[in-house]
Structure 1
Amino acid sequence: MAEFVALDFETADYGADSACAIALVRVRNDTIIKRTYSLIRPPRSYFRFTHIHGLRWSDVADQPTFAELWPSIVDEFADVDFVAAHNASFDKGVLAACCAAAGLDMPEVRFECTVKLAKKTWGLKRANLAAVSEFLNIPLVHHQALSDAEACARIVIAANQAGA
């Protein structure tokens, strides 16, 4: 059985380096074994997406930067078969931009997109996270990073159990 980590970022603005929250949900043998959630102080205090995720500068001003947080989360990317993310190109891009801005090496790990997985496995036309979560009866507080990452993990688990 595969071991993977589901990843979700929330960002403050249009810059891919503006992560303000990260969640990682580690799965082994279709069982969630660890949940990690952290707020991140982005490089700019301007928040463009508060209306989406509810986070403000005041929530993250005293939190670690991505570079400061990295040592405590980097091991979550080790010894996994892949990283799962819903719309993986977004989260992969945020991870790459945050690593680059911090002068860190991006983890060498394969990304799997649960949007594509849901379309392939269940033939869903609408495959945004809310629609797939509803289809699979997965609880979701959309745009709360830990809830989104856990929903993503549960999509992979459900696809594995469906024989995908």
Structure 2
Amino acid sequence: MQEVNFIAIDFETATRRRTSICEAGICVVRDGKIAETRSWLLRPEGNYYSYWNIQIHGIRPNDTANAPEFPEIWAKIAEYLKECPVLVAHNAAFDIGCIRHSLEFYNIEKPDITYYCSLRAARKLYNFDCNKLDYLCNQFEIPYGLHHRAGDDAEMCARLFLREIRDAAKCNHENMDFCNGKL
């Protein structure tokens, strides 16, 4: 899968608000191989957390009290996007929504980025009753770490999307037009 290059991304939020990102994770894929996985804790505005969100990811206000805010971490992610302006997310409606809302909230210019959704691809390619990221990874024996931690979920998403490209008999992500959009 040469020339398959993208950045899988995942966000965890402190509340239901898309701008309350408390962790960001990326997994860089170069020439069809995992090249790097990173994650950062972020301090959401007011460092306020919903009980329910804490139950999902386990991140708490004391974990992010001294963490940088979205603009600082977005600048780091944007450096990766200069090399490869293609994102992949599992349930891109959520993750791309986090980006859009946060860019607007912090008055940051929106970059020209194409994105793909591994959830939409799974729904088209497979006939499973469940298309959650951890379930699909279990079905395909894709290794993963802690589900609902951004770096691990980004890497799970990257590995799943590589599988989806292969299963769709597509040579690269650009032919996966049934699951893409523009930021």
TM-score range, shorter chain: over 0.9
Displacement of 1:35:
1.3
CA distance in 1, matches of 2:73, 2:84: 20
- Give per-residue Cα distances to partners, 1:14-70, cap 9 Å, x unaligned: 111000000011101210112121000100222111110000110001010011222
Rounded to whole Å, the distance in 1 between the matches of 2:115 and 2:74 is 19
Partner of 1:95: 99
CA contact (8 A) 2:85 2:112 kept: no
CA contact (8 A) 2:47 2:64 kept: no
TM-score by length of 2: 0.84
Which position in structure 2 is the counterpart of 1:150? 155
Aligned to 2:122: 118
Q: Residues 7 and 83 of structure 1 are in contact (CA less than 8 Å); yes or no, is this contact kept in structure 2?
A: yes
Q: 1-side partners of 2:111 and 2:36: how far apart? A: 19
Aligned length: 164
From 21, 46, 54, give the equivalent of 1:19.
21
The alignment's C-alpha RMSD in Å is 1.4
User: For 1:57-68, what aligned pairs fall within 5 Å after superposition?
Assistant: 57-68=61-72
Equivalent position amino acid for 1:143 in 2 = H
Deviations 1:91-145 (A, max 9, x none): 0000111111211112211111111111222333311112111111112321011
Report the residue type matching 2:71 in the other structure.
Answer: A
Alpha-carbon distance between aligned partners in 1 of 2:90 and 2:117, rounded to the nearest angstrom = 6
| Higher mean C-alpha displacement, 117-126 vs 91-100 | 117-126
2:32 to 27, 30, 33: 30
Aligned: 1:159 with 2:161: no
Structure 2 segments unaligned to the other structure (5+ residues): 171-183
TM-score normalized by structure 1? 0.93
| Identical-residue share of aligned pairs (%) | 30
SS in 1 for 2:59: coil
Structure 1 portions without partners, runs of 5+: none
Q: Could you tell me how far apart the structure 2 residues matched to 1:28 and 1:119 are?
A: 25
